[in-house]
Amino acid sequence: MSEQSNQPQSDNFVIRTFPVGPLQCNCSIIGDTLTGKALVVDPGGDADKILRLLKELNLRAVAIIHTHAHLDHILASGVIKEATGAPILLHEGDRFLWDMVEQQCARFGVPTVSLPEPDQSIEDDQALDCCGGVAIHTPGHTPGSVSFWFDEYKTLIAGDTLFQGSIGRTDLPGGNFDQIKDSISQRLYSLSDDAVVITGHGPSTQIGIEKQTNNFIRG
């Protein structure tokens, strides 16, 4: 399991990010060692790795949250729910993609999975039940794309909205360039310049770096 190393740590805040699944989506486990609570973000495969790490960290998943519902971010969600009992959270704008997971699997030639219904809808500015996290609706890559902000720890989970030197593609169903531009420039670039950005694929970056150097959307 290859974990990213430039992630903030504190006495009780734990975050581990590692690629999973056939398309190597970055899955994150975010936890509080004082309460033992954890969030599982974008379990796109390799459920055994995710469950093993939760056990190693002595953390209990209290929610399975998704930045969006493309198959590479959701494939293991059902298995993780079955193993942990944690509810599945998804923005309603991406429900159509969730419901099309079998068609998505067929399109990309990966083994078909069936997923349970999401338990709760993620709303803009919704507080998360761990580490003071807040959901930020950042549409554009998909209509229901969401980023997760942990202010105390200056950490952003951006999914496929913002990448190091790039942005999420908008040519897939539901994609919209004007929306992703507004989501990044108005919502994400308003966060702290020193905030670490954990992306949906590839290496992490920082808000200030992207504002200065991202050729797609400058701050």
- Nearest C-alpha neighbor of 153 from the set 27, 26, 18, 39: 39
4 DSSP assignment: -
pTM attached to this predicted model: 0.95
13-213 CATH fold: Metallo-beta-lactamase; Chain A (3.60.15)
| Domain boundaries along the sequence of the chain | 13-213
Residue 49: both structure tokens together: 């790795």
Q: Which helix or strand (DSSP H or E) is residue 1 part of? A: none
Report the amino acid identity of residue 110.
V
| Cβ-contact 105, 76 below 8 angstroms | no
Is 130 buried (19+), middle (13-18) or exposed (0-12) by CB count in 10 A? Answer: buried
Q: What is the pLDDT along the chain (219 residues), one digit of tens a residue?
A: 456 645 555 679 999 999 999 999 999 999 999 999 999 999 999 999 999 999 999 999 999 999 999 999 999 999 999 999 999 999 999 999 999 999 999 999 999 999 999 999 999 999 999 999 999 999 999 999 999 999 999 999 999 999 999 999 999 999 999 999 999 999 999 999 999 999 999 999 999 999 999 999 998
Measure the CA–CA gap between 161 and 142, rounded to whole angstroms: 9
